[in-house]
Copies of this chain bind each other. A is one copy, B any other.
Amino acid sequence: MSLLVVGSVALDTIQTPFGIRKNILGGSATYFSVSARFFSPVNIVAVVGEDFPAAHINFLKNKGIGIEGLSIQPGGKTFRWEGAYSWDFNNAKTIATHLNVFVDFNPRLPAGYRKSKYVFLANIDPQIQAAVLNQVDNPRFVACDTMNHWITNKRKDLIKFLNKVDLLFLNDAEARQLSGENNLYKAALAINKFGPKKLIIKKGEHGALLFSKNSTFSVPAFLLKDVVDPTGAGDTFAGAVMGYLAQRGRFDDATLRRALVWGNVMATFAVEGFSLSRLAGVNGAAIRKRLKEFQALVSF
């Protein structure tokens, strides 16, 4: 089934204890789609500037990702993010954010994308998330991400939009901020009242929680020896979750739990290299091998 992601395609400059990489391919829609494509066809809607290397566009196209909705703004500059991680990879420090073409991002969906059944609205202004969703005819399953910036500055718009969302992805700090509850169980109950019947709370190296009607699922993260760059882990995770759900065409509890496990597995590849260097290179055999390793890690 057709999966649509609306988000950023960016050029990142990343510093980690393992080095610095300048102007490498990044962005939520990029990580999401490169991960989701292993499970389902996926189309992206995003905007870049004229400075965006054609090689990156070819890269996405060659991965089988639909790029009809990737517009190049004449005279514009690509969205850029500069961040740094210390040895504690759980927290990124933003050094600079240049929104550039993202300032006026107000996407019109290509006609063919309006019939998308699975929609992921990555972390952008909730008013834009709502405006995009309005262009989709009759989606079966809608998920979104957000961040502290929108929870603080666009709380009303965000809560209004959440009413249209089936599944919300948040990290633990965002869940606490949005709900005003410190206990994550209570936070989930509070967020549930805003609309989303399903909630995934991402806890970085500590795994993830899934809250759905009458059921809670807790899954640890894969234990990795070599984390190189955690950028994009959350979007890679979401891409696998949504890709798997689109592939299965169902959202029952058992399917959702398996989707989180796939999210976990795919996220490991995102963090083992800078940019998409590792994620882009894996194949089905490597993914299945890691799934087996994950099962060995958590079974008792």
Which positions in A face B, CB cutoff 8 Å? 87-88, 182-186, 203, 206-207, 209, 215-221, 223-227, 254, 257-258, 260-261, 296-300
A183 contacts B227, C-beta separation under 8 Å = yes
B298 contacts A217, C-beta separation under 8 Å = yes
Residues of B within 8 A of A182 (CB): 87-88
Q: Which residue of B lies closest to A185 (CB)?
A: B225
Residues of B within 8 A of A88 (CB): 182
B300 contacts A260, C-beta separation under 8 Å = yes
B183 contacts A209, C-beta separation under 8 Å = no
State the number of copies, please.
Answer: 2
A223 and B219 in contact, given A203-B206, A207-B206 (Cβ under 8 angstroms): no
Query: Could you list 14 further interchain pairs (A-B, Cβ under 8 angstroms) beyond the known A185-B224, A261-B300?
Result: A88-B182, A183-B227, A184-B223, A185-B225, A186-B225, A206-B207, A207-B207, A216-B297, A217-B297, A218-B220, A218-B298, A219-B300, A258-B300, A298-B298
B300 contacts A218, C-beta separation under 8 Å = no
Residue A209 contacts which of B185, B223, B225, B300 (CB distance < 8 angstroms)?
Answer: B223
B220 contacts A220, C-beta separation under 8 Å = yes
Residues of B within 8 A of A218 (CB): 207, 220-221, 223, 297-298
Residues of B within 8 A of A261 (CB): 300
In the bound complex, what is the Cα–Cα distance between A4 and B275 (angstroms)?
52
Q: How far is the CB of A52 from chain B (nearest CB, A)?
A: 34
Residues of B within 8 A of A258 (CB): 300
In the bound complex, what is the Cα–Cα distance between A258 and B300 (angstroms)?
6
In the bound complex, what is the Cα–Cα distance between A207 and B297 (angstroms)?
13
In the bound complex, what is the Cα–Cα distance between A296 and B297 (angstroms)?
18
Residues of B within 8 A of A184 (CB): 223
In the bound complex, what is the Cα–Cα distance between A185 and B298 (angstroms)?
15
> What are 25 of the A-B contact pairs (CB < 8 Å)?
A183-B224, A183-B226, A183-B227, A184-B223, A185-B223, A185-B224, A207-B218, A207-B220, A209-B223, A216-B223, A216-B297, A217-B297, A217-B298, A217-B300, A218-B220, A218-B221, A218-B223, A218-B297, A218-B298, A219-B220, A219-B298, A220-B220, A254-B300, A257-B299, A257-B300
